[in-house]
Chains A and B, each alone.
Chain A
């Protein structure tokens, strides 16, 4: 594989990412799946990078999952998005920072729709005004939160305590990256590096000392695919998609999987456990799974944050193999401790690779 060719693609797909003053919109599912990730993002921006980032507690789901499942009409989701923008406008912000990949796709799709069909914009302005009395401006800059971490990746590396390097061998850790489909497959120019060879996660991995693994099914869906999972009878299809990816990446012996979408790490993490239960198969070393991290968790580890404070005990596939390789100290006894230090109880089900 020729790196120069990839560099050319990366140069062709650079985007403007605002430098400061972000209006943050959260994901509706990430706080359940990876509960510390969004908080870690805010901590990194405020404490480490000294940035102004604001979130309004009145903002709602973008309703993207409902939209992609054909239960939320387009007019409705446009008006919901317009309301988010109204909250941003009222707070005096112009730069939207989006936690969720589905939402990021939704915001871009709707803004592009308004550019192509101004009558839709006028209709939505009218609908929002009638329903809520609010008015809005279209954001000047729309960045996914991973774009922002990408923008400041070198700064994070420079102040970080840990690197993506195997402390025993001194070699870079091999990391598989997986971007969510809605990050740039709909609008390649909206994603750093485009759709085919995206750079957003690659840039982080390389800045933090790791080595990216490019494998044949890299572009394949994680298995979420909305109706593949939301319709219960389709869930076998969901797990088979994830399995296809694991089988494809296995020969490269990756040390971790890095994601920037709410659904992808959930499925790549949880389905490893399911496959172990179904087939007795694990894809990591020594019968263990391959740890799956969000980019905020990965950044947090680089910065020396405690993995349990970032909620990494909630992963179904244990993260300890990665922590051990990075030489990160963790207290096993505190893995299931709550904020006040009291144990919150261990899961009854055995995690993948335990």
Chain B
């Protein structure tokens, strides 16, 4: 029986572990947090059909619970060294593991919106991120901006920390556009009287049923999409926010008062991925995401033989793309193990 160590217990890591266990291998998952499931634990509803995130997470975890693999939680990988076709892995918990293959599935981190200082996140009372809003979208979430007062006008800002020279992230985070559309609709359902505006650069509705949802947002929910990037937000004396932008389609500057500003934060490779890359001696793209051997045919292969990649540690990905990428990683590991033994 071959032993595979999976670094990261998010949905990519767990799904890879599951598939490899099914293939008859012994798998150990190393997760730095107490709980597996990664960022999905913090999400309430998923695009494009508003499926509760816990439904997907529970289904995945239930499947995983039936498999026989080990999870080392609250543990980080310190080093990975290859010796005689084996990988010697040292962890922060002082464990020393020997593996035949390694899968890196360290996921992503959300962009820290306070780096876009001009929007005043963590400074102005009613500036939140899409991740903050997700918690408020649960049935018991309190959306009020003052005692008993719900926001009357809400603005979303797309591409916060993505496609942005200032934050150093030139890439598109891919999922924020549809997240914004989904969250705008959810807010409109909860607050039918509210005016909702989305400030965007481009709307990239790349996935199945995404474009349809975007159309529905406009036609059914009267959500206004304005092509323009916010230059700044300022807090007024009543805690509402003055935002400035340009409507680039009409070519006019625009100033608007809103009660709530939602920043659609992008994905970053994060420190966990950087640490794993250093421990495994594998390379990163300029974006910080892990470099794959080939973008078309070997998207699960790192530059080091025997070290594989799964999920959003390689690029921003949706939940369903992550699951598929994890399954393909498991298949590639399995094929490689067969071929090399």
A-side residues, CB < 8 A to B, are: 1-2, 4-6, 8-9, 194-197, 214-219, 251-252
- Report the Cα distance A266→B120, complex, angstroms: 29
Q: Which residues of B contact A8 (CB under 8 A)?
A: 114, 122
Of the residues A1, A2, A196, A252, contact of B117 by C-beta under 8 Å: A196
Q: What would 19 A/B residue contacts be, using CB atoms closer than 8 Å?
A: A1-B123, A1-B124, A1-B125, A1-B235, A2-B125, A4-B122, A5-B120, A5-B121, A5-B122, A8-B122, A9-B114, A9-B123, A194-B117, A196-B232, A197-B117, A214-B235, A215-B237, A218-B234, A219-B234
- Report the Cα distance A4→B117, complex, angstroms: 13
Q: Min CB distance, A7 to chain B, in Å?
A: 10
Is A217's CB under 8 angstroms from B237's CB?
Answer: no
- Report the Cα distance A34→B236, complex, angstroms: 32
Q: Mark B106-132, 1 if CB is under 8 A from A, else 0.
A: 000000001001101111110000000
Q: Min CB distance, B56 to chain A, in Å?
A: 34
Q: Min CB distance, A141 to chain B, in Å?
A: 25
Residue B143 is within 8 A (CB to CB) of chain A in the complex = no
- Report the Cα distance A219→B118, complex, angstroms: 10
Residue B242 is within 8 A (CB to CB) of chain A in the complex = yes
Q: Which residues of A contact B124 (CB under 8 A)?
A: 1-2
Is A216's CB under 8 angstroms from B242's CB?
Answer: yes
Is B123's CB under 8 angstroms from A5's CB?
Answer: yes
Is chain A's interface secondary structure helix, strand, loop, or mixed overall?
A: loop
Kindly name the residue among B117, B120, B122, B232 whose own CB sees the greatest number of chain A CB atoms within 10 A. B117
- Known contacts: A194-B117, A196-B117. The answer to whether A6 contacts B234 by CB under 8 A is no
Is B235's CB under 8 angstroms from A219's CB?
Answer: no
Is A2's CB under 8 angstroms from B237's CB?
Answer: no
Q: Min CB distance, A302 to chain B, in Å?
A: 28
B-side residues, CB < 8 A to A, are: 114, 117-118, 120-125, 232, 234-237, 242
Q: Min CB distance, A181 to chain B, in Å?
A: 13
- Report the Cα distance A9→B122, complex, angstroms: 10
Given A196-B232, A197-B117, A216-B234; 17 other pairs, CB 8 A cutoff? A1-B124, A2-B122, A2-B123, A2-B124, A4-B122, A5-B122, A5-B123, A9-B114, A9-B117, A195-B117, A214-B234, A215-B234, A216-B235, A216-B242, A218-B234, A219-B232, A219-B234
Q: Min CB distance, B241 to chain A, in Å?
A: 9
Q: Which residues of A contact B121 (CB under 8 A)?
A: 5
Q: Which residues of B contact A252 (CB under 8 A)?
A: 237
- Report the Cα distance A197→B234, complex, angstroms: 11
- Report the Cα distance A214→B123, complex, angstroms: 11
Q: Which residues of B contact A195 (CB under 8 A)?
A: 117
Q: Which residues of B contact A5 (CB under 8 A)?
A: 114, 120-123
Q: Min CB distance, B303 to chain A, in Å?
A: 33
- Report the Cα distance A195→B114, complex, angstroms: 14
Residue on B nearest A9 in the bound complex, by CB? B117
- Report the Cα distance A143→B139, complex, angstroms: 54
Residue on B nearest A3 in the bound complex, by CB? B123
Q: Min CB distance, A226 to chain B, in Å?
A: 20
Is A6's CB under 8 angstroms from B242's CB?
Answer: no
Q: Which residues of A contact B125 (CB under 8 A)?
A: 1-2
- Report the Cα distance A8→B113, complex, angstroms: 13
- Report the Cα distance A55→B62, complex, angstroms: 76
Kindly name the residue among A2, A194, A195 whose own CB sees the greatest number of chain B CB atoms within 10 A. A2
Q: Which residues of A contact B242 (CB under 8 A)?
A: 216-217
Q: Min CB distance, B149 to chain A, in Å?
A: 18
Residue on B nearest A219 in the bound complex, by CB? B232
Residue on B nearest A193 in the bound complex, by CB? B117
- Report the Cα distance A197→B117, complex, angstroms: 8
Q: Min CB distance, A5 to chain B, in Å?
A: 4
Q: Which residues of A contact B234 (CB under 8 A)?
A: 214-219
5 tightest Cβ-Cβ pairs between the two chains A and B? A5-B123, A5-B122, A196-B117, A216-B234, A216-B242
- Known contacts: A194-B117, A196-B118, A216-B242. The answer to whether A6 contacts B123 by CB under 8 A is yes
Q: Which residues of B contact A217 (CB under 8 A)?
A: 234, 242
Residue on B nearest A13 in the bound complex, by CB? B117
Residue on B nearest A217 in the bound complex, by CB? B234
Residue on A nearest B117 in the bound complex, by CB? A196
- Report the Cα distance A57→B292, complex, angstroms: 63
